[in-house]
Amino acid sequence: MKALLQKEMCLSASLITYFFIAAAIITLFPGYPILCGPFFATLGIFHSFQNSREANDIVYSTLLPIAKSDVVKGKYLFSVIIESAALIIMTLLTILRMTLLTDAKPYRQNALMNANLFYLGMALVIFGLFNLIFIGGFFKTAYKLTPFIKYIIAVILTIGAAETVHHIPGLENVNAFGFEHLTLQLILLIAGIGLFILMTALSCKKACARFEIIDL
């Protein structure tokens, strides 16, 4: 698997995938829907899948002396690594906003989503949706990229819901600043982690089963 992952990162990956990790800095943008950051990170991964398709990378990988399921697992592992890299940057910048910048006027006057643990949980949900909808959908054929359209629709709805929820009376605390309502924030983050793991694991298992019966 180590050699397969090296192939994914050095040969199959598009350079733009690594560039789009930097979209995590959107976490610092006031007056902007910051959940677009994780979406752009997944857009970078999408380019690697597109690059792999055009280079017939899937066919090449299946000719290697490895199980067909390892080809799928390699793509998932590569995607999770890119998502994790973006998440690390988002986490560091979120901590910065929760500590040194918690009272900064541009953030306090921002009507949009605040950078806190709920934000990180929702970022994980978006990554999970990408793994579930796009990568899982891609391995129905190992060729078509159209599941990305379904993913975009899901992301738009998810971002819209996340940006709306703190405007609902009684749910304002999800948009807490600093370490306010920390217990609630931790619960929401843990829920996001759980959903990410669940969506990714189920999608990978199903994608492996589908890929086994595809005649390339």
**Which token pair is 213?**
């019966």
What is the predicted pLDDT for the residue at 141? Answer: 93
Domain residue spans of the chain: 2-212
CA atoms within 13 A on the CB side of 113: 28
Asked if residues 207 and 74 have their Cβ atoms less than 8 Å apart, the reply is no
CB 73 within 8 A of CB 152: no
d(CA 131, CA 117): 21
Instruction: Tell me the pLDDT tens digit for each residue of 85-126.
Output: 999 999 999 999 999 999 999 999 999 999 999 999 999 999
Measured between alpha carbons, how far is 203 from 201 in angstroms, rounded to an integer?
Answer: 5
Query: Measured on CA atoms in the order 13, 7, 139, 80, is the torsion positive or negative?
Result: negative
For every one of its 216 residues, what pLDDT tens digit does the chain have, with 9 covering 90 and above? 777 888 888 888 999 999 999 999 999 999 999 999 999 999 999 999 999 999 888 888 888 888 899 999 999 999 999 999 999 999 999 999 999 999 999 999 999 999 999 999 999 999 999 999 999 999 999 999 999 999 999 999 999 999 999 999 999 999 999 999 999 999 999 999 999 999 999 999 999 999 988 876
Let me know if 44 is exposed, middle or buried by CB neighbors in 10 A (0-12, 13-18, 19+): buried
Structure confidence at residue 216 (pLDDT)? 65
Q: What is the pLDDT of residue 140?
A: 93
CA gap 75, 132 in Å, rounded? 13
